[in-house]
């Protein structure tokens, strides 16, 4: 009797330990062009001065970008930030240290421990700080805001002079111990190198692959390049799985493909994500383990709400997380079932009237966040080979592609209090930016060039889900006025009003 009781107590205690096992938050995010301050930029928009010599991209912009990214990441883990961040679109360092040297993170933090990032990019800005790479400036922003304890890895493909071959790079920040000797960069065709990073916690390893593939998801010719990108990754996965079939790994990043690429674009003969990586929605099959397929976490999400970016009025899933069969066993790292999430933080990185991303803008000293929403998952560690720790799937994912259809961005009619009315801007030059990125109530004639004039200033019109020229062809160039709600912004240096939905034309308030 006593033995039975002791066994029961042990089992209950072991079960309690498993339930209480520490969980680790992993976030994947495209930060949208976090450039450094060295003044060298391949993209014109991120040069310190425009072609006319006017200030363009300054340390103040970098500070705003860092503050926005930091505060967004602070939405995780009760303000402490994710345990692991797989970030893409940080600018490559075009003014690196000589002789291929790299920065020591602890030395960097110690050197600037008595200075805040606001000072570094403000009154204390100097040539030394201007040479710091983007990932260290962001790290300092994290540190100052209380997101501490990170180590990092960076993917580079440099030419014979030591300069990077690509404008942007992939970076991983981790509080969990990084095995730097195993960090690798995998060059791929016409895209950023894939970053391979190994994490080791108490002898248990997981490998992270951070990706940013060739762009233009719907382009069949570009898909051929992405197929090559995927083949490099697939070959590496096959290599490590040949050594350890149960290896734990996560594939994350901006794949510039949709999770259901082969279903969404049926005219593509071979797709990178589905055909080469063997990404699937069959969670039971991946959990079973006898496969080289990977489970795509978008299948954890409601089929009508799958989206982390928008394009021409529809949601896309360019940001993705895929996981290995090893993350379902009862040894080492394990996926926390149904922990996949999309970071929509209203009042922060998405618009209240649509939930669409509030993308970065360099107007003034910068605003917005990114044209992508972060996605996340949770991990835990099973410290002993205990079959009782096997995952019991709740509502397991399945291949539901036949039920999917393109998901339009849905715009709600804004509250009148959220719209700037004419009396508020009647004596204002709108190009001064007081109401930048705000919704304005506009009444105006439309010129033959499909423009409107407000307070003596001219603005273009654009809409994400309909053709402005077709919609207003009957009244353009006439004396007829219309009323619409438009979001004030700039595109490629030109001021415009974006009419986000047709119901915003002649709104019935």
Please count the other Cβ atoms lying within 10 Å of the Cβ belonging to residue 208: 23
What percent of the chain lies above the pLDDT cut of 90?
88
Q: What is the Cα–Cα distance from 103 to 134, expressed in whole angstroms?
A: 12
Phi, psi of 388 (to 5 degrees): -65, -15
DSSP H or E run through 184: strand 184-188
74: its two tokens: 């602070």
pLDDT tens figures, 308-344: 999 999 999 999 999 999 999 999 999 999 999 999 9
pLDDT surpassing 50 at residue 108: yes
Q: What is the 3-state secondary structure (H, E, C) of 272-298?
A: HHHHHCCEECCHHHHHHCCCCCEEEHH
Q: What is the Cα–Cα distance from 265 to 217, expressed in whole angstroms?
A: 9
- Hey, is 509 helix, strand or coil? coil
489: its two tokens: 């912004």
pTM, 2 dp: 0.94
Topology of domain 21-403, per CATH? Answer: Deoxyribonuclease I; Chain A (3.60.10)
Handedness of CA 128, 130, 131, 135 (dihedral sign): positive
DSSP H or E run through 424: helix 422-425
- Contact between 358 and 345 under an 8 Å Cβ cutoff? The reply is no
From the list 348, 347, 361, the residue with the least C-alpha distance to 489 is 361
pLDDT surpassing 60 at residue 206: yes
Domain ranges of the chain: 21-403, 416-504
pLDDT given at position 12: 46
pLDDT surpassing 70 at residue 11: no
- Contact between 482 and 499 under an 8 Å Cβ cutoff? The reply is no
As beta bridge partners, residue 382 has 332
From the list 143, 116, 406, 382, the residue with the least C-alpha distance to 260 is 406
Q: What is the Cα–Cα distance from 308 to 298, expressed in whole angstroms?
A: 10
pLDDT surpassing 70 at residue 202: yes
pLDDT surpassing 60 at residue 10: no
pLDDT surpassing 50 at residue 4: no
Across residues 223-250, what is the average pLDDT? 98
332: its two tokens: 């080492």
pLDDT given at position 18: 45
- Contact between 146 and 80 under an 8 Å Cβ cutoff? The reply is yes
Strand 332-335 and strand 375-382: the pairing is antiparallel
Supply the DSSP string of 336-385, one letter for each residue.
-TT--EE---BTTTB-TTT--B---B-STT-B---SS--EEEEEEEE-S-
CATH numeric code, 416-504: 2.40.50
As beta bridge partners, residue 174 has 84, 151
pLDDT tens figures, 188-200: 999 999 999 999 9
Mean pLDDT (the chain, rounded): 94
- Contact between 350 and 370 under an 8 Å Cβ cutoff? The reply is no
Across residues 159-179, what is the average pLDDT? 94
Q: What is the Cα–Cα distance from 272 to 264, expressed in whole angstroms?
A: 13
Strand 294-296 and strand 279-280: the pairing is parallel
pLDDT given at position 8: 47
pLDDT band at residue 31 under the 50/70/90 scheme:
very high
pLDDT tens figures, 404-461: 999 999 999 999 999 999 999 999 999 999 999 999 999 999 999 999 999 999 999 9
pLDDT band at residue 9 under the 50/70/90 scheme:
very low
304: its two tokens: 């009508």
pLDDT tens figures, 110-136: 999 999 999 999 999 999 999 999 999
Q: What is the Cα–Cα distance from 323 to 340, expressed in whole angstroms?
A: 11
Between 6 and 23, the higher pLDDT residue: 23
Across residues 216-221, what is the average pLDDT? 97
pLDDT band at residue 493 under the 50/70/90 scheme:
confident
Phi-psi region of 139 (alpha: psi -120 to 50; beta: other; left: phi over 0): alpha
Q: What is the Cα–Cα distance from 270 to 264, expressed in whole angstroms?
A: 12
Across residues 95-111, what is the average pLDDT? 93
Between 162 and 242, the higher pLDDT residue: 242
pLDDT band at residue 162 under the 50/70/90 scheme:
confident
- Hey, is 154 helix, strand or coil? strand
Phi-psi region of 263 (alpha: psi -120 to 50; beta: other; left: phi over 0): alpha
């Amino acid at each position: 009797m006593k033995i039975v009781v002791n066994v029961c107590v042990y089992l209950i205690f072991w079960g309690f330990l498993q339930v209480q096992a520490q969980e680790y938050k992993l976030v994947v995010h495209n930060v949208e062009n976090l450039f450094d301050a060295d003044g060298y930029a391949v993209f014109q928009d991120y040069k310190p001065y425009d072609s006319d010599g006017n200030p363009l991209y300054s340390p103040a912009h970098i500070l705003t970008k860092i503050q926005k990214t930091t505060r967004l990441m602070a939405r995780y883990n009760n303000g402490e930030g994710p345990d692991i961040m797989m970030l893409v679109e940080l600018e490559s360092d075009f003014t690196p240290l000589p002789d291929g040297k790299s920065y020591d993170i602890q030395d960097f933090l110690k050197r600037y421990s008595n200075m805040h990032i606001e000072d570094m990019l403000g009154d204390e800005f100097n040539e030394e700080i201007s040479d710091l790479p983007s990932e260290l400036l962001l790290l300092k922003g994290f540190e100052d805001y209380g997101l501490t304890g990170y180590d990092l890895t960076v993917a580079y493909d440099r030419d014979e002079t030591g300069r990077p071959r690509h404008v942007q790079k992939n970076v991983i920040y981790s509080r969990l111990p990084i095995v730097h000797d195993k960090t690798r960069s995998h060059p791929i065709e016409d895209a950023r190198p894939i970053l391979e990073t190994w994490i080791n916690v108490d002898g248990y390893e997981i490998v992270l692959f951070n990706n940013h593939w060739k762009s233009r998801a719907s382009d069949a010719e570009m898909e051929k390049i992405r197929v090559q990108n995927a083949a490099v990754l697939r070959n590496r996965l096959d290599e490590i799985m040949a050594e350890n079939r149960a290896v734990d790994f996560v594939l994350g990043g901006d794949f510039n493909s949709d999770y259901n690429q082969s279903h969404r674009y049926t005219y593509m003969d071979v797709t990178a994500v589905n055909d080469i990586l063997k990404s699937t929605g069959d969670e039971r099959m991946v959990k079973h383990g006898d496969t080289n397929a990977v489970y795509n976490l978008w299948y954890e999400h409601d089929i009508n709400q799958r989206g982390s970016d928008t394009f021409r009025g529809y949601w896309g899933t360019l940001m993705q997380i895929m996981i290995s069969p090893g993350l379902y066993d009862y040894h080492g790292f394990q996926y926390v079932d149904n922990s996949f999430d999309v970071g929509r933080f209203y009042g922060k990185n998405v618009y209240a009237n649509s939930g669409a991303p509030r993308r970065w803008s360099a107007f003034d000293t910068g605003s917005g966040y990114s044209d992508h929403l972060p996605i996340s998952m949770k991990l835990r560690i099973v410290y002993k080979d205990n079959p009782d720790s096997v995952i019991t799937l709740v509502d397991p994912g399945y291949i539901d592609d036949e039920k999917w259809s393109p998901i339009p961005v849905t715009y709600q009619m804004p509250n009148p209090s959220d719209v700037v009315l004419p009396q508020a801007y009647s004596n204002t030059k709108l190009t001064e930016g007081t109401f930048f990125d705000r919704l304005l109530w506009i009444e105006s004639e439309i010129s033959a060039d499909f423009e409107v004039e407000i307070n003596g200033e001219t603005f273009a019109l654009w809409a994400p889900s309909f053709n402005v020229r077709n919609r207003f062809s009957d009244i353009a160039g006439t004396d007829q006025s219309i009323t619409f709600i438009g979001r004030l912004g700039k595109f490629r240096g030109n001021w415009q009003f974006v009419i986000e939905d047709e119901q915003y034309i002649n709104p019935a308030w």
